[in-house]
Amino acid sequence: MNPLTRRMFLAALTGAGAAGLGGLLWRQSVFAAMDAGQFTNRLRLPGASGLYAPVAAKDVKQITVSELNFEVLPKLPSPFWAYVAEVGGKRLLNPTLLARPGDQIKLRMVNRLKQPTIIHWHGLTNDERNDGFGNYQVDRGKSFDYAFTVWNRAANYWYHPHPHDIAGEQAYKGLAGLLIVKDDDEEKLDRALDLAAGVTDIPLVIQDRSFNFEGKLEYKLAREQMFAGFLGEEILVNLTARPYFDAARRIYRFRILNGSNARSYRLAFAQGARLLDYYLIGTDGGLLEQPQKLREAFIGAAQRLDVLLDLRAASGNEPVFLKSLAFDPMHNESVDEKTGTPGSGADPHAAHAGGGLMDGMEMPLLRINIKSSAEYKRQIPSQLSQLPKLAAAAGEPRRLTLGHDRKGNWNINGWRFNMHETPVTVRRGTRETWLLQNNRASMPHPMHIHGFQFRVLERRDSPAQVKALATRNNGLLPQDFGLLDTVLVWPGESVRIALDFNHPFSGDQTYMFHCHNLEHEDTGMMIGYKVAD
């Protein structure tokens, strides 16, 4: 029996009652497609029903953090938390904010939740007050005014909550939106490929979620989930379960965000048993210099992949699936005392085998139906943009080790988060090289640095499934060729990155460095670092 079906059956047997059985029947009808492997819900596109609706960031004067009801599953309203904006008489939920480098954004956040919150502008270079982390969290009924300039190059950024201890719950319940910065290079690409936002240029927000027998979002953490991270029983794309999308035989651009709390994906486009080539054109920090052809790529929580898919390469009218291929999630959280090897004799999925989708299992995410269309003759440009140079600093790198103590507390160099401590200090305007070293007795950690983008210089001791995707002698993956704000570091792996701490803000600035597995972040795998003026 399917885990979801079994779970629903048990819920019915334990006295759900007539109302509960009614909800159960609704949920069975909604999820019946899973057993048949069908995708029957049209993908939500930005703007439909106000969700992810695009709007100029400078036109948004207020965002209200609200609790409301939303049909995440068809015909099943669920409590949902959203960023709500009123623009031009329209109500927008988690709006997609559009900007250009140099734009000034001024807006007020009003908190209507029953708990404190704050918005973090993920990937943007801001002063500490406008960066949005737990030191500035806002209590219920209070407001916070943001005012900042977009200093970064064009890219797919996003925004989400960052209150300490409860960021995972708030993001899980719905709080996440996109912030897309465009420039001349972006517009040149649009013209070259005849791309239209929301039609052939489509953001895909991938999130895993769980629902109770009534079809309502459920976030309940067992002890092992606090340690390994929360995995949902359903994969949603743009808050759509089992989505499909009708496409012409042409090039599409997909701006992919892994908005899951903890789950990583190994993304591929498949037609039957055949994997299609696709082209990586951008990462967290915007366009690459040249497209990178690939067939699969890992994406950790909070990372973005900007890709082009040419459906002219598909054969016939058989649908194409965006899917996550099977992989070893490497949850080697313990070391065998006799052999000294990590995870010896342990089930690598055990930390998440709670009745849902195990981490690392193969799963389809989105069905793409190919429809007849007019002839399309555009070709992918060989040159996309020019990346800023970011050389490695001389001397020994700053070493930061990712691990956990005997009590199961994840940490960085043995440090756990203290709001009043900044164990790392760097000087404004200096360059540094950081060496991120993940212990073998560990799990993959998507490490995010607030305030500054970075370049990956080298990967060493990567696991075989990662090393197989490297395209250069220094172990770099195709997504390592661009600017990043989050990097996935696998067990036993060392990743060397280059940072430039130049910024336009006066005075000392404090930022965060943390794992973007949100349960790890909430339980202390985060440190403050100071950029001293």
Q: What is the pLDDT of residue 343?
A: 42
Residue-wise DSSP of 27-96: HHHHHHHHHHT---EEPPPTTGGGBT-EEEGGG--EEEEEEEEEEEETTEEEEEEEEEEEETTEEEES-E
Distance between CA atoms of 34 and 39, rounded to whole angstroms?
Answer: 8
Distance between CA atoms of 230 and 185, rounded to whole angstroms?
Answer: 38
Distance between CA atoms of 343 and 363, rounded to whole angstroms?
Answer: 25
Tokens of 54: 């695009």
The closest of 67, 103, 98, 97 to 82, measured between CA atoms, is: 67
User: What are the boundaries of each domain within the chain?
Assistant: 3-38, 48-182, 191-370, 398-532
Q: What is the pLDDT of residue 48?
A: 64
Beta bridge partners of 235: 208
pLDDT tens digits, one per residue of 39-71: 999 999 997 678 999 999 999 999 999 999 999
Q: What is the pLDDT of residue 135?
A: 86
pTM: 0.91
* CA dihedral over 299, 300, 305, 311, signed as positive or negative: positive
Amino acid at the residue 28: Q
Sheet holding 104-111, edge to edge: 90-93, 76-87, 62-73, 104-111, 143-149
How many CA atoms within 13 Å lie on the side-chain side of 444?
24
- Going by CATH, does the domain composed of 48-182 fall within 2.60.40.420? yes
Is 191-370 the same fold as 48-182? yes
Per CATH, the number for 398-532 is 2.60.40.420
Tokens of 530: 């100071």
Determine contact, residues 322/341, Cβ cutoff 8 Å: no
What φ, ψ does residue 157 adopt, rounded to 5°? -100, 180
Per-residue pLDDT of the chain (533 residues; tens, 9 = 90+): 333 333 333 333 333 343 444 444 444 444 444 444 589 999 999 976 789 999 999 999 999 999 999 999 999 999 999 999 999 999 999 999 999 999 999 999 999 999 999 999 999 999 999 999 888 999 999 999 999 999 999 999 999 999 999 999 999 999 999 999 999 999 999 999 999 999 999 999 999 999 998 989 999 888 888 899 999 999 999 999 999 999 999 999 999 999 999 999 999 999 999 999 999 999 999 999 999 999 999 999 999 999 999 999 999 889 999 999 999 999 875 544 444 444 433 333 444 434 468 999 999 999 999 998 889 999 999 999 999 887 788 889 999 999 999 888 999 999 999 999 999 999 999 999 999 999 999 999 999 999 999 999 999 999 999 999 999 889 999 999 999 999 999 999 999 999 999 999 999 999 999 999 999 999 999 999 999 99
Beta bridge partners of 86: 91
Per CATH, the number for 191-370 is 2.60.40.420
**First-residue to last-residue Cα distance in the chain:** 61
Determine contact, residues 202/238, Cβ cutoff 8 Å: no
Q: What is the CA radius of gyration of the chain?
A: 22
The closest of 206, 133, 173, 208 to 522, measured between CA atoms, is: 133
Q: What is the total residue count of the chain?
A: 533
Distance between CA atoms of 82 and 132, rounded to whole angstroms?
Answer: 17
Amino acid at the residue 61: K
Q: What is the pLDDT of residue 334?
A: 55
Q: What is the pairing mode between strands 286-294 and 297-299? A: unpaired
